[in-house]
Amino acid sequence: MCGIIGYTGKLDALPIIMEGLQRMEYRGYDSAGVALIENGKLELRRSLGKIIELKKILENETFSAKTGLGHTRWATHGRPSEDNAHPHTDCKGKFVVVHNGIIENYYDLKQDLIKKGHVFKSETDTEVVAHLLEENHSGDLLKTVKKTVESLQGAYALGIMHIDDPETLIATCNASPLIIGKNGSGLFLASDITALLEHSKDLYFLENGEVCVLKNEKIEFFNSDLESIKKETTHIDWNPVMAQKQGYKHYMLKEIFEQPSAISETLMSRINWDDASIYLDEIEGFDEDFMKNISRIYLVACGTAWHACLVGKYLIEKRSPFIAHVDYSHEFRYRNPKVDDKTLMICVSQSGETADTIAALEEGKKRGAKILSICNVLGSTVARKSDGVLYTRAGPEISVASTKAFTTQLVSLFMISIYLGRISGTIDKAKGIKMLNDIVEIPDLLEKTLEMNNDLKKLAGRYIYKQDFLFLARGINYPIALEGALKLKEISYIHAEGYPAGEMKHGPIALIDQDMPVVILAPKNHLLDKTLTNLQEVKARGGETIVFCQDKSEVDKYNVDHIFEVPETIHDLTPIVMTIPMQLLAYHIADQRGTDLDQPRNLAKSVTVE
């Protein structure tokens, strides 16, 4: 959701900024821009569209500026256009601002500034920041920034520079991520770790209200009262190569194929064979009494991570004595959830920066809950605000459509369910050992499942002109039907719905005819017969059936159009295996439709606005 970057140092700023923008493009890609101060003159270049368009504008220009700011945008206020692209400036063109977030009180601020004679050039909320800086400018940059942010409401990560101080960058944030880095060649600010990995792996995470000055090879941090503070770096052990395509056509395909190794990382050193349990060092700080006496568990997330929570509910309620509720983050925080100091809240977020999830976490915390989060990005806001964090260790996920983050979240929730079952005595040692054996097999099973790739690629060709799809499943695989439908609509723009198979007769059945492909997940379990009855209901109405099962012989007799076998595993792990063909099918349909599937229209990877 918008990416900002800044550099000041010994090297030419432009290539560094462009490279960083390229790495953050998945955060937003409707327009982009850079600002440099070249020989005392502000050079602003902005373009509508992706970074490639900005590159075209810059192609025949050379700049030697050593300081600059850049931005890639996901529009909130004001349509995508060159005028609305960042960086923004004040009336005199002296202050330069890049912003990620939303200034909620921008309208009132803007009216006030207009009355004072300021002339606005864009429809954005961000531009008010540039004019406020101009209005408040006292000659002291730091004090000017302090005074300015005091009048802002909302979420912001800001990168600021001033033409009269061309080697200084100022960074500040509230409820939007901002990361600061340093190496021998210079100082950096960015919205995202991936933009800085090339330059440094020891990074500072700016907290709400903190201000940072990057100048003359030195980084200084201040609290909101401008008192100097010391901050520690966090070491990020991601390798920059992990954030590259490595020969795959798309990041999404690469990330789909990384799932076996990503899951091995998630499991690494967490299996406790001696106790037939899971080492959850992350919750060591949680009192054992608290864990045994949990009154209820809330699983809270958005998007794909919410689907993981749905699976988590099945797992936790099956394996432990606890009641688990699942909420969308944005719903949870605005109702009256029954949270007390015996509540465990599990917040699931790949990025750890989803604004709604952060707000839900804060609400839960305020009401007394203990927060355990499942995150992929180290040091992210959700991780920092939680009482304990289970990192999925999936490595950087660049594709907007989430894949390896999802399956590693499922594995994490499976581990948590074993842990809860073991501490509460609902899983005995023998069962625990069996479950551990089952989960450690998953990476190998996924390797086998990925062998379906070519068959699904062939099948995908049949569907590129379809307009609707239905995904059906029961029980613990119902969330995977939702995830299959979400993947397909996100990247192929084909309308798709996921339904519990038993619910089909209450509405969606009316849609079924020969133009409706229906994907049915039919693993071998106690629900198989019922699912196969639903399959026949689809067939009877002419729908085209695509079935993913574990034993063809049980399904073959129903005259199914396309059957695929996935490797066998225990019932509770079938969602992980079933996810792979959902991802591959969506990928190949989208690829053959020719969509920009790593960066689908209107979406962003990290949604830092509410």
Residue 97 or 358 having the CB closest to ligand G6P? 358
C-alpha closest to that of 69 among 148, 143, 14, 151? 14
d(CA 77, CA 125): 6
Our finding on whether 350 is near ligand G6P (CB under 6 A) is yes
Residue 148 or 606 having the CB closest to ligand G6P? 606
Beta strand segments in 223-342, E: 228-229, 234-235, 271-272, 277-278, 296-301, 324-328
The closest residue (CB) to ligand G6P is: 303
Minimum Å distance from CB 277 to ligand G6P? 27
Residue 508 or 600 having the CB closest to ligand G6P? 600
Binding test (CB under 6 A) with ligand G6P, winner from 37, 305, 580, 589: 305
Can you list the alpha helix ranges (DSSP code H) found in 324-403? 329-332, 355-366, 381-385
The contacts found for 557-566 with CB under 8 angstroms, 24 or more apart, are 558/532, 560/535, 562/459, 564/452, 564/455, 564/456, 566/449, 566/452, 566/523
Residue 28 or 337 having the CB closest to ligand G6P? 28
C-alpha closest to that of 374 among 389, 354, 357? 389
Residue for token digits 């327009």? 31
Residue 303 or 479 having the CB closest to ligand G6P? 303
Our finding on whether 396 is near ligand G6P (CB under 6 A) is no
| Sheet strands side by side (includes 228-229) | 88-89, 95-103, 154-162, 168-174, 211-215, 218-222, 228-229
Minimum Å distance from CB 503 to ligand G6P? 23
d(CA 413, CA 409): 6
Exposure string over 333-355, b if 16+ CB within 10 A, otherwise e: beeebebeeebbbbbbbbbbbbb
Please answer whether residues 470 and 578 qualify as being in contact, where contact means their C-beta atoms are separated by less than 8 angstroms.
Answer: no
Residues binding ligand G6P: number (CB under 6 A): 16
Joined tokens for residue 194: 């991936």
Please answer whether residues 136 and 189 qualify as being in contact, where contact means their C-beta atoms are separated by less than 8 angstroms.
Answer: no
Please answer whether residues 572 and 418 qualify as being in contact, where contact means their C-beta atoms are separated by less than 8 angstroms.
Answer: no
Contact segment (CB under 6 A) with ligand G6P among 259-267, 297-305, 435-443, 447-455 equals 297-305
Residue 380 or 534 having the CB closest to ligand G6P? 380
Binding test (CB under 6 A) with ligand G6P, winner from 402, 407, 408, 449: 402
C-alpha closest to that of 112 among 84, 140, 151, 147? 151
DSSP state of 451: G
Binding test (CB under 6 A) with ligand G6P, winner from 206, 219, 400, 488: 400
Binding test (CB under 6 A) with ligand G6P, winner from 30, 606, 608, 609: 606
Joined tokens for residue 539: 């067939």
Our finding on whether 403 is near ligand G6P (CB under 6 A) is no
Residue 302 or 609 having the CB closest to ligand G6P? 302
Beta strand segments in 408-522, E: 468-473, 495-500, 517-522
Our finding on whether 357 is near ligand G6P (CB under 6 A) is yes
Binding test (CB under 6 A) with ligand G6P, winner from 47, 100, 122, 304: 304
Minimum Å distance from CB 305 to ligand G6P? 4
Binding test (CB under 6 A) with ligand G6P, winner from 148, 351, 403, 412: 351
| Annotated active-site residue in 313, 370, 466, 605 | 605
Residue 563 or 603 having the CB closest to ligand G6P? 603
- CB atoms under 10 Å from CB of 441, counted, come to 14
Contact segment (CB under 6 A) with ligand G6P among 250-258, 343-351, 557-565, 581-589 equals 343-351
Residue 529 or 596 having the CB closest to ligand G6P? 596
Q: What are phi and psi of 38, to 5 degrees?
A: -110, 115
Residue 449 or 608 having the CB closest to ligand G6P? 608
Q: Site map for ligand G6P, 229-268, x if CB under 6 A?
A: ----------------------------------------
Contact segment (CB under 6 A) with ligand G6P among 78-86, 217-225, 287-295, 396-404 equals 396-404
**Residues 555-574 within binding reach of ligand G6P (CB under 6 A):** none
d(CA 192, CA 175): 14
Exposure string over 460-479, b if 16+ CB within 10 A, otherwise e: beebeebebbbbbbbbbbbb
Active site residue 605: yes
Minimum Å distance from CB 238 to ligand G6P? 16
| Annotated active-site residue in 2, 173, 302, 549 | 2
Our finding on whether 607 is near ligand G6P (CB under 6 A) is yes
Our finding on whether 580 is near ligand G6P (CB under 6 A) is no
Furthest-apart CA atoms within the chain: distance in Å: 81
Binding test (CB under 6 A) with ligand G6P, winner from 349, 386, 417, 574: 349
Minimum Å distance from CB 404 to ligand G6P? 12
Our finding on whether 302 is near ligand G6P (CB under 6 A) is yes
d(CA 306, CA 78): 29
Our finding on whether 605 is near ligand G6P (CB under 6 A) is yes
Minimum Å distance from CB 10 to ligand G6P? 35
Minimum Å distance from CB 519 to ligand G6P? 20
Minimum Å distance from CB 89 to ligand G6P? 31
Our finding on whether 194 is near ligand G6P (CB under 6 A) is no
Please answer whether residues 84 and 75 qualify as being in contact, where contact means their C-beta atoms are separated by less than 8 angstroms.
Answer: yes
d(CA 266, CA 376): 10
Joined tokens for residue 36: 């440099």
Expressed in angstroms, the distance from the first to the final Cα of the chain is 11
Q: Site map for ligand G6P, 511-550, x if CB under 6 A?
A: ----------------------------------------
Residue 88 or 605 having the CB closest to ligand G6P? 605
Residue for token digits 């109405």? 541
d(CA 157, CA 187): 17
Minimum Å distance from CB 462 to ligand G6P? 26
Contact segment (CB under 6 A) with ligand G6P among 3-11, 165-173, 287-295, 602-610 equals 602-610
Residue for token digits 């089952």? 438
Binding test (CB under 6 A) with ligand G6P, winner from 9, 260, 303, 432: 303
Which residues are the active-site residues? 2, 605
Report the interface residues with ligand G6P, using CB under 6 A.
302-305, 349-351, 354, 357, 400-402, 603, 605-607
